[in-house]
Amino acid sequence: MSELPSLVNDLALILIVAGAVTLLFKKLKQPLVLGYIVAGFLVSPHMPYTMSVVDKANIQTWADIGVLFLLFSLGLDFSFKKILKMGMAPVIAALTIIFSMMALGIVVGHAFGWGKMDCIFLGGMLAMSSTTIIYKAFDDLGLRQQRFAGLVMSVLILEDILAIVMMVMLSAIASGNNPDGSQMLGSLWKIVFFLVLWFVIGIFFLPWFLRVTRKLMTNETLVIVSVGLCCLMAVVSTKVGFSSAFGAFVMGSILAETVEADKIIKLVEPIKNIFGAIFFVSVGMLVEPQILVKYAMPILLLVLTIVLGQGIFGTMGFMLSGQPLKTSMKCGFSMAQVGEFAFIIASLGLSLRVIGDFLYPVVVAVSVITTFLTPYMIRVASPCYNLLERHLPRRWIRRLNHLGTAHDATPEETSKWKHLLLSMSANVLIYSILSIAVIFMMLTFFLPFVRQLLPHWWANGVCGLLTVMLISPFLRSMIMKKNHSDEFRALWLESRLNRLPLLFTVLARVVIASAFIFYICNYLTRFTNALMISIAVVAVVLMILSRSLKKRSVRLERIFVQNLRSRDIAAQVHGRKRPLYEGYLLDRDIHISDFDIPEDSEWGGKTLRQLEFRNRFGVHVSSILRGNRRINIPHGEEEIFPNDRIQVIGNDEQLRVFGDALKGELIPEDPDIEKREMKLKKLKIRSHSRFIGKTLKESGIRDQYNCMVVGVEEGQENLTMIDPNRRFEEGDVIWVVGEQYSLQQLFLA
């Protein structure tokens, strides 16, 4: 008999150990993802006391497939529309977290005395959290329906997109090229192309295709088509330059807009669970005890850096996006781990031979430890907030929480935001083009000329100083223009929620202006990055504070406005156009979440009036999805059935209590289910039987003995249906069905 391939042996070992460990973790009420990681450590080749996996390469391939299906399922839950509805909040939070964690990673690397490129790549690794791990942790903890979970997933998706740009920049820095060259433009073009492709396919082709083939789609064909589309988009994503996991998420979000989304989620769930388990086991297999011992101190400090850094900067990023303190802390604490992109960035550094060999295993160890801590970080967020609430002044807590109070923007306010952002974008574009033109002219023509007159470094200094002076009016206008406009002031006064986003628009323009100064310094000097950034920041600050520069920029602006001859723009510049101060704050945090009714729910078969959701939980049922039928605004007599998907409206706490009740109010499992088997037997009415002379109803066979008469023998090939008014006689042969115990009692009667 031929031997089994090593892949099958390894798979059997992984699943058996994972099953045993996760049962233990389920008993201990711990997240299953931690059980998978422990199982991976137990079956890894680094654990000499247990059986270990033979072929890690094959397991890694299966783990990659697991990532695809996990991100595909995430996309099915988190559609394109949900991302758009989040607005600017995820963008602000993502940019703040990435820049803060990168800077923190570089500082920590320098503190260890590591090389320059090691520090830069370390910063890139620490900036990326794990979409897969957080999604699984939310799933295990039952938090996916809460509002803060949606914010976190939006930021994680944006981080995955920005990671592509970061890898291009790191490659350019490592090779000594300028990261603002053709590679950066090519990367941005790929992102735009891929997202447009995503939008076009999602809106036009796939819904039409599934609608046309709906009558032909069985469960089998639907799951094959869905998985095939997932793999296809993963291949396309890889060809474009993205990760395959991101492509899987894109396809999931496209299918989430179709009618078949709920059915696809149920069909793909078993595939996601098994391959996802293999992925998390493979993460646990990466733990090397000798690395943990050799680099114990750096690993410990990096873990603390991530936990504290994401706890602080993550919270700050979400607060800048307009979220209250409690929600921001939940979001920031959830992201305290190193994601899969850290491995990709580390592999990139090794392939370019710019980082040390020690960094990859260190980051892997940090990733595993922070993954293990993720569920506990999510749980500890609320207690940490309660601790702050007890020790900080109430006025501070009230203001910090008031920042993120849900706000319904009026049409006028939305129009002001749109007009302000368009104006700011146009200003940034115009002044950037002017600055680029000046820099190009100075570095292309003036720099070679002045180098013929002065020594090399003197020429560079003169050229750099003159270039900065020439573009400084443009940069100052880029930063300051529209900061005192009618729209800016109106939005600032109308709602506290608008203030942090408005400040972020100023900060973003400061970063863009600093980038021009940074480019000039980087082109003309050989100072370290930190020194050049410091020069850029100081120069920008001096521009902002310079009154003479303000006069120059205002003079240039007035000349431009007068030449343009635009009454509307002139009215805005001179303050003649007044805004409408309308709008209000709605002090609520209400949103819609979906819940699936379990098959063994006690709510099945009951009406909404009987269940009293509004009185018990304070929530409202807005719609019921039952198969292909949707019941919107259901009335009180509408019944709830198992496998229904209901949309419920409430705040986070109300929805949490509702979800706990949904999971808890289940029909208890029958401990004697094996004895409940139904049997069909023949009963002959004898002379002493108590049923003689009685009708079927009078006999009590159904009511008293819990059995059912299915027919009577009358010498024919088939049984004769018994007449309810027929009276039993001696010698009648009837066939009855019931449980074993009930039949025994009936036969003894």
Residues 439-459: tens digit of each pLDDT: 888 888 888 888 888 887 788
Whole-angstrom Cα distance, residue 462 to residue 438? Answer: 15
Closest of 173, 179, 526, 104 to residue 354, by C-alpha: 173
Q: What is the pLDDT of residue 738?
A: 92
Whole-angstrom Cα distance, residue 202 to residue 257? Answer: 7
Written as one string, the DSSP assignment of 646-677 is EEEEE-HHHHHHHHHHHHHSBPPP-TTGGGG-
Enumerate helices (H) and strands (E) in the chain, giving the number of each. 33, 7
Q: What is the pLDDT of residue 566?
A: 41
> Can you read off the two tokens belonging to residue 515?
């980038």
Beta-carbon contacts of residue 203 (< 8 Å; ≥ 6 apart): 257
Closest of 297, 325, 329, 324 to residue 310, by C-alpha: 329
CA 386 to chain centroid: 26
Q: What is the pLDDT of residue 191?
A: 65
Q: What is the pLDDT of residue 572?
A: 38
Whole-angstrom Cα distance, residue 533 to residue 519? Answer: 10
Whole-angstrom Cα distance, residue 431 to residue 413? Answer: 27
Instruction: For 337-488, list the strands marked E by DSSP.
Output: none
pTM of full prediction above 0.75:
no
Closest of 123, 464, 139 to residue 306, by C-alpha: 123
> Can you read off the two tokens belonging to residue 162?
């920005």
What percent of the chain is helix, strand and coil (3-state, nearest 5)? 70, 5, 25
Asked if residue 302 lies in contact with residue 362, where contact means CB atoms within 8 angstroms, the answer is yes
Whole-angstrom Cα distance, residue 32 to residue 25? Answer: 6
Whole-angstrom Cα distance, residue 264 to residue 400? Answer: 41
Q: What is the pLDDT of residue 176?
A: 58
- Residue 306 buriedness (CB in 10 A; 0-12 / 13-18 / 19+): buried
Reading across the β-sheet that carries 678-684, which strands appear in turn? Answer: 678-684, 733-739, 708-713
Q: Is the dihedral of CA 501, 506, 509, 510 positive or negative?
A: negative
Helices (H), 481-528: 486-494, 499-524
Q: What is the pLDDT of residue 204?
A: 72
Angle between helices 32-43 and 6-27 (to 10 degrees): 140
> Can you read off the two tokens belonging to residue 132?
């897969």
| DSSP reduced 3-state for 736 | strand
Written as one string, the DSSP assignment of 168-234 is HHHHHHHHT--TTSHHHHHHHHHHHHHHHHHHHIIIIIHHHHHHHTGGG--HHHHHHHHHHHHHHHH
Could you report the average pLDDT of every consecutive run of 10 residues in the chain (749 residues)? 66 85 80 78 74 69 78 73 66 85 87 84 85 78 79 81 70 59 58 66 76 83 90 82 75 80 84 82 76 83 90 86 82 84 72 76 82 85 84 72 54 72 82 85 86 83 85 82 78 71 79 79 61 56 54 57 44 37 42 84 90 90 84 90 89 86 83 79 87 88 89 78 86 89 86
623 sits in which H/E element: strand 620-626
